[in-house]
Amino acid sequence: MSLSTRPGGHECSLQQLEPRVLLSSVAVVGFDSSMFGALTAFLIEADVNDTTGAVTGDPRFADVTGLGPPANPFWDTFTDSANGGFAASYLAPFTSFDNEWGARFDDSKGYTAGWYTGYDDGSPTTDFGFSMLVERPDDATINDIQGAWVYSFFQFDGLSLTGRNYTGAFTVGGSSFAIVATSIAGAPPVITSQAIIANDAEGEYETNNGLHMFLSADKSLMLIMDARSGDGRQSIGVAFRADVDATFTSVAGDYRTTAVTDALAVQQGFDPLDESLLRLRDDGTFAILDLTDYDAGTITITDSGDYAIAGGVITLDSPGVGTASFTMTDSGRVLLPTRLDVAPITSPVDMFGLATRIPGTGPVDSSILDVALPQLAPDGTPQVFERRLDGSWVKVDLLAVTGNNVIDPAKVTQIESFTDRISGRLLAAVVADGQLWVFTRSGAGIWSSRNLSDQLNAQLISSNLTLVQDLGPDLDSKTDDRTTIAAIDAFGDLVFFDQTGSTDGFGDPTFRYTNISDDVLGPGGFATPFFPGPIVSYTLPWNGRAIAGLSASGDIWSIWTTPALGGHWRVSNLSQITGAPPLAGGLTPYIQPWGGTNLAALNIAGEVVVTWWTPGLGGTWFTNNLTTLFTGPTFAAGSTTSWVFSWGGSNIGGLSDSGEVVFFWWAPYQVPNVWRVAQITEPLPPSLPRPVGALHSFVTDDDQANVFGTGAGNELIRLSWEPGDSVWSIENISSLAI
């Protein structure tokens, strides 16, 4: 859509995840011009196979007295694509349009209604089609549609290739409803009444005047078809209830948009169909993007400007072009195009179509994983992979999306990502040429970048960076959690870029810079240990926090604090306290719910050694070699990771000598009380990629375990398991993402 005129248990087995369509009963309402040489309305009551995507269901076209007999089906399968799209394949002798676009409609993935549209090259004004689709409920009653609805219709005569757009309202009371129709802008309303003569549990309602209405699975929207063509009119439409309380924040996101052009606009050079990506930002600005380019990973803005909201109506204002209006439905998932007033149209016209919101393009809490997976491309370009609510993966080149041409990818040495609980935004911390950059994803899904080192006048830092979680005053809530970006600067000092707890004028979190070595440790009589390798961090349930690392001699040093210390930090040599042997690398901490503190690392032989402490032991720490105690594997240097479930199940993972992912695991209260070993990737076919270097892991709030790493071809590989799974799953995210 453009506002400008456009002429013409830990099991050892895994399963590989592949894209699939998971739908059930579907209602389709649309029109086609290529089959009969004129616009002809049809509906399909279809079923979609939840494994193969196969579509079954015969189309029925409008006829003189009502729906005609079943015709030959033309769709074969539906296949989901990234960015909320889907594609259809056709049964012979039917063929696809030369140009096609779609928006998903599966309720379980966050979609209320979708659409599918296309046209042929060389004849975009004569050979085209348009469909709207909803997944249907299984428990609908007539009570679900009682009350007031707003509707939008596209009406045509079945003899030509254009039609008119109409809007109006109706109210359902019992089994009858009154329709107030506004035929043409400014004309007196036409009031009629109809009776519902049939309805079913899948949300179909039929009236005595030949209307067929199909309720969406979330019961917020209805597709409508006027099946009687004997009066010289055919119509398709959509009915909805408006979200009168919509705000900039609630509507912010990306919408796959299609619009059917009114005959008056077609006469002025507009195409019969239009498709685009509408991006609404939470600051009151919008952009219209080319949908084909968007799906290909390129951002091409065709229009932009400001928008206003009043009573659920969103009005886009493109300077020098005109305005377009949409109404937000009360599901928050769909916008309905309603009004167009742009040159060279002599007077405003009603619009018809759908704008389907892509789940996960709004606030961060709509993301499945609640975090973006970070990775450096082979040339050093920082990138993240976002998981949308519809299950799709999107790769984000942070330099490209922010227009950052200051950072030289060859000088990028580290990237970490986290969720800011105060602002609800995703952040990525990037070290480039000794400076710390922070990339922030706004509530509307828009990324921005800032040089935090430059803003805070900080010293140059090494790539030795870790994220420290501060639980805030309320230990039982995450809403006041803060993240500190800790690093070692060029002089070996420990420095903090920690959140202030407030946000700036753009809603992004603000930070302050502190040299902990100079301002805290030194005055307290503590010297900062020298860390030649990576540093790690951990947070205890009572908000005790620590940064740990290995010295050149292999000792574990911890720089730590507790709330009782009132902002002071201390330094301890844990190896000296425990008598732990020298360690070679791979330090990874894991904290158990009761405060058990564990630091796992590898010795020179690659054996897993854990230095641990638990409340009740006073100041006594212990060290155990899990590899020798439980006849376990050795791990490759630098590959270790660890994670803990909410119930205390503890895991230490790494790569074996043969390059397979394996981990030690322990569960509280198990008998006997020992660590066990699970082979994870060894059973997989050799053709599937494996991580070859460092592994990273995290557990979601609902105990989904995620382990990811980079393959030999720089693929981002993800292993995942959640309660109830009998197997671990593996995904090549790089091949799935766009």
Q: How confident is the model at residue 245 (pLDDT cuts 50, 70, 90)?
A: very high
CATH of the domain at 734: 2.120.10.70
Q: Would you state the pLDDT for residue 368?
A: 47
* Residues 312 and 413 grouped into a single domain: no
Q: Would you state the pLDDT for residue 648?
A: 95
CB proximity list for 565: less than 8 A, separation 6 or greater: none
Residue 535 domain flag:
no
Mean pLDDT is lowest, of 362-366, 457-461, 541-545, 665-669, for 362-366
User: 3-class SS at 170?
Assistant: strand
Residue 533 domain flag:
no
* Residues 40 and 188 grouped into a single domain: yes
Residue 536 domain flag:
no
The residue count of the chain comes to 738
* Residues 670 and 721 grouped into a single domain: yes
Q: How confident is the model at residue 14 (pLDDT cuts 50, 70, 90)?
A: very low
Residue range 314-357, pLDDT digits in tens: 999 998 888 999 999 999 999 999 888 887 777 788 889 999 99
* Residues 329 and 376 grouped into a single domain: no
pTM above 0.75, yes or no: no
Overall average pLDDT of the 385-396 stretch: 79
Overall average pLDDT of the 194-220 stretch: 92
Q: For residue 445, give both structure tokens.
A: 């899904």
Q: Would you state the pLDDT for residue 366?
A: 37
Residue range 186-198, pLDDT digits in tens: 455 556 778 899 9
* Residues 273 and 338 grouped into a single domain: yes
Whether the predicted pLDDT of 11 surpasses 70: no
* Residues 288 and 220 grouped into a single domain: yes
* Residues 204 and 343 grouped into a single domain: yes
* Residues 734 and 639 grouped into a single domain: yes
Mean pLDDT is lowest, of 12-26, 162-176, 295-309, for 12-26
CB proximity list for 685: less than 8 A, separation 6 or greater: none
**Structural domain count of the chain:** 3
Residue range 557-589, pLDDT digits in tens: 999 999 999 989 999 999 999 888 999 999 999
Overall average pLDDT of the 369-394 stretch: 83
Last residue of a domain, one of 359, 386, 406: 359
Residue 255 domain flag:
yes
* Percent residues over pLDDT 90 in the chain: 55
**Which stretches does DSSP call E strand in 200-300?**
204-207, 211-215, 221-226, 234-240, 253-260, 273-280, 285-289
Residue 12 domain flag:
no
* Residues 478 and 517 grouped into a single domain: yes
Q: Mean pLDDT, the chain, as a whole number?
A: 87
* Residues 152 and 271 grouped into a single domain: yes
**For residues 632 and 262, what is the distance between their CA atoms, to the nearest angstrom?**
71
Last residue of a domain, one of 310, 338, 359: 359
Supply the range of the domain harboring residue 637.
546-738
* Residues 261 and 398 grouped into a single domain: no
Whether the predicted pLDDT of 22 surpasses 60: no
Q: Is residue 435 within 8 Å of 376, Cβ to Cβ?
A: no
Q: For residue 195, give both structure tokens.
A: 């009776």
Q: Would you state the pLDDT for residue 7?
A: 28
Residue 598 domain flag:
yes
Whether the predicted pLDDT of 497 surpasses 80: yes
**C-alpha torsion angle, residues 250, 252, 253, 256 (rounded to 10):** 90
Last residue of a domain, one of 329, 359, 389: 359
Residue 23 domain flag:
yes
* Residues 378 and 351 grouped into a single domain: no
Residue 6 domain flag:
no
The burial of 306, by beta-carbon neighbours within 10 Å (0-12 exposed, 13-18 middle, 19 or more buried), is given as: middle
Whether the predicted pLDDT of 442 surpasses 60: yes
Q: How confident is the model at residue 268 (pLDDT cuts 50, 70, 90)?
A: low
